[in-house]
Amino acid sequence: MKKITVAIDGHSSCGKSTMAKDLARRVGYVYVDTGAMYRCVTLFALRHGLFLDDGSIKTEELQQAMDDIKITFVFNQETGRPDAYLNGELVEREIRSLEVSNHVSPIAALGFVREDMVRQQREMGMEGGIVMDGRDIGTVVFPNAELKVFVTASAEVRAQRRYDELKQKGMEADYDDILKNVVERDYIDSHREVSPLRQAEDALLLDNSHMTIAEQNEWLLKRFEEATKEEAISSLS
């Protein structure tokens, strides 16, 4: 049976990665966390002093450095999920910090950054059999994906989830700061000139504000089974 492409878009901290990882594991597909890719670029920029004191970016210097930013994913046998590596260094923990969260949206809004990330993402998914989540997967990266899902939840629910995740990892967290970050990222992601966050016309909408992780995972698995069944039928006709 032909393997399909699953594109999952949505707001920050709405559980996209959690459900995408679970689906990929259950159906034997490759999972790619595109948000982690932009976080890696952001971490690189922070480490190399490419942010000014007012939060603006040294865009020319970052553009010149893009060829030096290599992002890869390595499957973690212990967690059963892929970890992000920046130039060969495991940075999965570092890219989830609030500092990176506070700087990632302006980085992701840069045209040359998105162009390079989209190129890498398309190379990863050329053969299908991939589950990819982000902000523009169904609209820009894979507009012909067989299954598109747009995920959302209230800002308050998403902030609480992010807070709980950070505390569980033993990292410092302040709910009010996280909520402010979530609201700001929503605005920037939806209003940027290049590939703004929006629901594709043929994407299924999922508001998981009041769903458990198990419930959203089952919902996505059912949609996947329906999509693969439809693809199998169309290939025979």
pLDDT tens-place string over residues 94-130 = 999 989 999 998 999 899 999 999 888 888 887 788 9
Phi, then psi, of 143 in degrees rounded to 5: -65, -15
pTM: 0.75
Q: Which parts of 22-118 are beta strand (E)?
A: 30-33, 71-76, 81-86, 89-90
What Cα–Cα distance (Å) separates residue 149 from each residue in 46, 132, 143, 182, 234?
Answer: 32, 11, 12, 20, 20
Token pair 């996947």: residue: 224
Q: What is the pLDDT of residues 2-58, one digit of tens each?
A: 789 999 999 988 989 899 999 998 998 888 888 899 999 999 999 999 999 888 999
Structural contact between residues 98 and 173, judged by C-beta atoms closer than 8 angstroms: yes
Name the average pLDDT for the chain: 91
Non-local CB neighbours of 165 within 8 Å, separated by 6+ positions: 96
Q: What is the pLDDT of residues 170-226, one digit of tens each?
A: 888 899 999 999 999 889 888 888 788 899 999 999 999 999 999 999 999 999 999
- Per-residue model confidence (pLDDT) at position 230: 84
User: What element of type H or E holds 104?
Assistant: helix 98-108
Non-local CB neighbours of 87 within 8 Å, separated by 6+ positions: 44, 68, 69, 70
Structural contact between residues 211 and 220, judged by C-beta atoms closer than 8 angstroms: no
Comparing 147 with 76, the larger pLDDT belongs to: 147
DSSP 8-class letter at 137: I
Phi, then psi, of 194 in degrees rounded to 5: -100, 120
Phi, then psi, of 156 in degrees rounded to 5: -65, -40
- pLDDT of 68 higher than 90: yes
103 half-sphere exposure, CB direction, 13 A CA radius: 25
CA angle 146, 70, 168 (to 5 degrees): 75
Give 90's pLDDT tier (boundaries 50, 70, 90). Answer: very high
- pLDDT of 237 higher than 70: no
